[in-house]
Structure 1
Amino acid sequence: MITRDAFRGSTTDELLYVDKNFTYQVKPKVRLLQKELSSGFCVSCLATGFYPRHINLTLFRDGQPVADHEITGGDLLPNDDGTYQMRKSLEISAADKHKYTCSVTHLSLDNKLDIALEFDPGEPFKSLIPSVLIVLALVLVFGTGVIAYKCRRRRAASIKSDYSSASTSEENRGPAS
């Protein structure tokens, strides 16, 4: 058996010797994607870079398989490197609050691979909230620093001005008699 592992196990190649034949296997890279559409969202299950070509790819809604008539895609397509890919997609409304799961079985996988997507239409905005808060905090800190710097310069100029006017008035009085 020859095995080649990649970062985080996303790709593993295996060369097996079974029944006096070599069998080459490549594990699929699986992603469950959510894309915003004008009418709602598209949830897609994509398996790519796998070999041999037979794969079982199923979309689940709240643990139940989605009916075939609701799904688009599902065609097995070849990649340039001799591996294959398959995508199954489902259009859903913006009000949809279901849990979607992509389930994959393939000869190269020891067990069934499940990837879940908790659908939440507000999720893209929730991911922006920490970034916005960080930017606001930085602006606040920077603004406070600028104000403190200007106040110190103004105070230093005022002290210098007071010192200059005091020494000028002593010079105008002349020597003490």
Structure 2
Amino acid sequence: MFIFPKHFDENEWFIIIIILLSSILFKLPKRFPASITILILLLSVAIPKVLDHSIAAISPYDFYRLNDSEKYEVFDLLLDGVYLPFGYLCVYFYDILLPRGVQIVLYILVWAIFAVFFEYINIKLGVFTYHGWKLIYSFPTYITIISLFLSFYECINYCYKKTKKTIEA
């Protein structure tokens, strides 16, 4: 059973606004087959969910709090929707730009900086409340996650193209 917040304030409004802005994703030209899109979106939610609930909510770590309450709220579930556009847009623009060599490093650094900035806004609006975690820890975390995420995309894209060629042959 989900608990509703006792006070409806900035963090809830922020989550709602980001989810509404995420609807813009449906207006973007389609770049990926449905199967790849679904995998990208699922991974965009799964990675932060696992990290948030393993280093944020579970003892002995308990480095930061999600939203207002120690209990799992409806807005903790809706927070998953905030992660969708980040992962999707990261892969979407990667697929458009097709960075190679040093450009990939720069691409990952730019997205990691953007992610830290976005997390900073989340902190200011009360979506995350730190007690033990520092924003500076997030930068190498994002570099690692974005690198793995793009590697995952490259792998599933390769497998999709290889399978498609096999089926067509």
Measured against the shorter chain, the TM-score band is under 0.3
Greater helix content = 2
TM-score by length of 2: 0.27
Structure number with greater Rg is 1
Structure scoring higher RCO (CA < 8 A, sep ≥ 6) equals 2
TM-score by length of 1: 0.26
Greater strand content = 1
